[in-house]
Structure 1
């Protein structure tokens, strides 16, 4: 059976990282059986990054590569009805979610207004962690943000960039159904991966305030969350 290795839960979300949650949701929506192993240490992962899967002895990292592999191997039809234009939209949204990842991560580890709430939530839900270890992770992430570029922004400017990404989603997500119609496709799993890691968190960042103020985004998040949770419990 396929095994997904990704970061642990937080605030009732199956993975506290958008990329791992994206893969989790995709596998659930596509009906692919899998085991889910939660880990903190990514040192043995491909490229030193989570998530990754092990499937019949083959190890694959990167969320997009994972989804492409699973579609091909298991002959999945979840995206077969999409038009060329819709596939193009999916790629553009995926790249925008890559941008949103950095702001979402910045809001947890770099923005001092929210860091302590995030730290305390991790320590509360995962008592094997230590404050010293999390401070080390905070320092490590600060270096990542600086070299990526978002770490050179003031907190309000970083949050404004994330809100701009979310505003685009607010224009794309319909009031009912999913991005491309009444049934979810791969891109809906991707959107959920990042939105759920903002919406369900008990931390009132500008990103969460924007989502809660736009019912179409919040409704979409809840719909995918209910679908993947019910499938997980089935």
Structure 2
């Protein structure tokens, strides 16, 4: 590949993998799955430091000379820029449902993040896995990130709840998502849409993790969500180990 071709290659910048999942952040994994489902060639650059990202948030995409941040904005850019058909057949009602699902996943994000960084029962497992999988990360850096997240949880509100109330909120989200899935196929039909990429980004980051949070326990008992996750995983390639106890 010459320098000109390299410059044109899509590059996804997102957090590193964990437990065999391509990105341990659901938003980066959402974009990763979308690119794979649409069969767009891209490079995947794993980074921990988000200071140079738009709004200092990961993921972001480099497309030629364009830098695009925010997972939804990235997907919209790619659909228009490359004439992608992944959502072309969605009805107006399905597009509305897609938006509502995205907003519910935004809510679920806080519970998932809380389970990793704040809950003292699961934090040591998450910390140790990061340190052993990514030796370049120091304990001090993780402690700083944890303190930063504690502030985020407090100001967002979820950090002021007891763990049982936090998980009740996340389990309610998961139950609705399970209700929305058909017995077979994907959210809106026989083929996946970008909403399925988003759902996978979140579910895979609980289902494949060897951390037995209440969220994972719930998923292991819900056939539709688990089947959906495995189906998308099979389509994008790779089979992380499933640790069910």
Match 1:163 to one of 161, 171, 174: 171
Structure 2 Cα separation of the partners of residues 214 and 40 of structure 1: 32
Q: Which residue of 32, 44, 50 corresponds with 1:42?
A: 50
- Please tell me whether residue 113 in structure 1 is matched to residue 113 in structure 2: no
**Whole-Å Cα distance in 2 between the matches of residues 221 and 204 of structure 1?**
17
Superposition TM-score, scaled by structure 2 size:
0.93
Q: Counterparts of 2:156 and 2:190 in 1: how far apart (Å)?
A: 37
Note the aligned Cα RMSD (angstroms). 0.7
1:227 to 202, 222, 235: 235
Structure 1 unaligned regions, length at least 5: none
* Alignment match, 2:4: none
How far apart are 1:162 and its partner, in Å? 0.3
- Please give the per-residue CA displacement for 1:74-101, whole angstroms capped at 9, x wherever unaligned: 0001111110000000000000000000
- 3-state SS, counterpart of residue 13 of structure 2: strand
The offset of 1:124, in angstroms, is 1.1
Q: Select 1:54's aligned residue among 41, 49, 62.
A: 62
- Residue 176 of structure 1, CA deviation: 1.2
- Of the candidates 117, 131, 138, which is equivalent to residue 130 of structure 1? 138
Given the alignment, which residue of 187, 204, 208 partners 2:216?
208
User: Structure 1 length as normaliser, TM-score?
Assistant: 0.97
